[in-house]
Amino acid sequence: MMQKTPQGIDYLSELPEVRPHIHETRKFPDGFLWGSATSSHQVEGDNRNNDWWDWEKASGHIIDGTVSGAACEQYTRYEEDLDLAKSLHQNAHRLSIEWSRIEPEEGKWDIDATVHYRRVLEAAKARGMQVMLTCWHFTLPKWFVAKGGLESQDAVECFERYVRYLAVEYGDLVDQWVTINEPMIYLVQSYGIGVWPPGVSSPFKSVHVFSAMCRAHRRAYKAIHGVLDGRGAPVVVGIAQNVITFEPYRKQSLIDTLFVWFADRTFNHQFFIWTRGLHDFIGINYYFHYRVKVRPTKVSQFFYEVHTENRETSDLGWEINAPAIFDAIMAMARYKLPIFITEHGVANADDGKRPRVLVAALKEVYHAIRAGVDIRGYFHWSLIDNFEWEKGYTGRFGLVAIDFQTQKRTPRRSAYVYADICKENGIPHTLLRFVGHGVRW
């Protein structure tokens, strides 16, 4: 049937030719790293010699009233977990070293712990995985805390000494080094709102600790390169930054827009500004999208409560906005360095949302690569359910579910979705059904 306007014009005939529907796999670059991530205190269990062990036991610090305890028993079950990762076609793994195990007393190295972590790294390499190693993922040895932690005068020297030891011991097994995980998250949680140890809320101390972390990264970066440069293999050092995407709730509001600019610069970029030239890559951890509505009478409530609009959230109440990972990537592409997505995931115990969030986010990573950004890998948070800091065991982020009574590991549906992507080195057309794409299964 001819479709015409009252003037007799066939408006359908004026439409441009429809672009063919693409059914091919959205392929990622050759050599792309597909992995998942864990951190020592959250999965190993029995980390008694760090600041979190005692913090967890104090009333009111952990929302669900749990303690890390045995966690996932990964200190002894690491081969089982690495076998799971390999069976799911992952070719890389990100993990952290527990500083309090390696250096239980100041200046004294624990040989058993040193050998243990070497065996863990060797196990990953034996399974064909590249290793991304995090030197510090939030927890601090008790002896270091007794000196004043990151507020102490020799904090930077202590951290440099520790990182240098790791470089000497594990330099032949590590492909990428992360000196510090999420420095701004640590700063806010520990010295801003004080819900992590040492439980301080002080703007003055926040500035001091931020400066210490910047200096610690600079010294650690130079230490790793100093030990490993010239050995033949490339030395790749950076940090994992929790990058938040902000948007003004009222697009026409100048004050909302200015606050978004300030928040973005302060939280996402200030660390890189103070450590310019001492990064070989940018690590992006992406979880948060904030809508800013500045209300002068409620200074503490600048971030609009998304529950008011019944937006989709994770089990922890965080807004789900997977497509915004594209904006996070493009914001950090300004540094013209290779990028790794060092963490991304969603707390979702029943796994009803994770497959969709995973595919939607990776589709945006693919678009960013097509836009010319040099993205080298993606590490899903996390491989297994784990202890989620002040949230306790409430947030289940794992591709693999953990029964914490029996320690049984059970891959979720999302684990197999991700396995297909890893195996294909891309997003098969059939998986786009998770994001509303018209696909017959």
pLDDT in tens, 29-43: 999 999 999 999 999
- Model confidence at 9, in pLDDT bands (50, 70, 90)? low
Arithmetic mean of pLDDT, 173-180: 98
Arithmetic mean of pLDDT, 368-387: 98
Rounded CA gap, 37 and 344, in Å? 9
- pTM, two decimals, is 0.93
- Tokens at 87, concatenated: 């069976």
**Does the pLDDT at position 26 exceed 80?**
yes
**Does the pLDDT at position 4 exceed 90?**
no
E strands within 149-230? 176-181
Q: What residue spans define the domains of the chain?
A: 28-243+270-285+318-429
**Does the pLDDT at position 368 exceed 60?**
yes
- Model confidence at 16, in pLDDT bands (50, 70, 90)? low
- Tokens at 121, concatenated: 């790294």
Average predicted confidence (pLDDT) for the chain: 93
**Does the pLDDT at position 299 exceed 90?**
no
Of 299 and 279, the structure prediction assigns the larger pLDDT to 279
Task: Output the pLDDT for position 437.
Answer: 66
DSSP letter, residue 244: P
**Does the pLDDT at position 187 exceed 70?**
yes
Backbone angles phi, psi at 145, to 5 degrees: -65, -40
Task: Output the pLDDT for position 70.
Answer: 98
Rounded CA gap, 305 and 45, in Å? 35
Arithmetic mean of pLDDT, 357-368: 98
Residue type at 380 in one-letter notation:
H
Task: Output the pLDDT for position 440.
Answer: 40
- Model confidence at 305, in pLDDT bands (50, 70, 90)? low
- Model confidence at 1, in pLDDT bands (50, 70, 90)? very low
Task: Output the pLDDT for position 293.
Answer: 85
- Tokens at 264, concatenated: 């973005």
Considering the domain 28-243+270-285+318-429 in this protein, what is its CATH number?
3.20.20.80
Rounded CA gap, 282 and 276, in Å? 12
Per DSSP bridges, beta strands 408-411 and 375-381 are unpaired
- Model confidence at 292, in pLDDT bands (50, 70, 90)? confident
Q: Is 127 helix (H, G, I), strand (E, B) or coil?
A: coil
The per-residue pLDDT for range 308-333, each reduced to its tens digit, is 788 899 999 999 999 999 999 999 99
- The number of C-alpha atoms within 13 Å of 381 and in the hemisphere containing its C-beta is 20
Rounded CA gap, 245 and 260, in Å? 9
**Does the pLDDT at position 22 exceed 80?**
no
**Does the pLDDT at position 439 exceed 50?**
no
The per-residue pLDDT for range 192-212, each reduced to its tens digit, is 999 999 999 999 999 999 999
The per-residue pLDDT for range 214-264, each reduced to its tens digit, is 999 999 999 999 999 999 899 999 999 999 999 998 999 999 999 999 999
Backbone angles phi, psi at 66, to 5 degrees: -90, 175
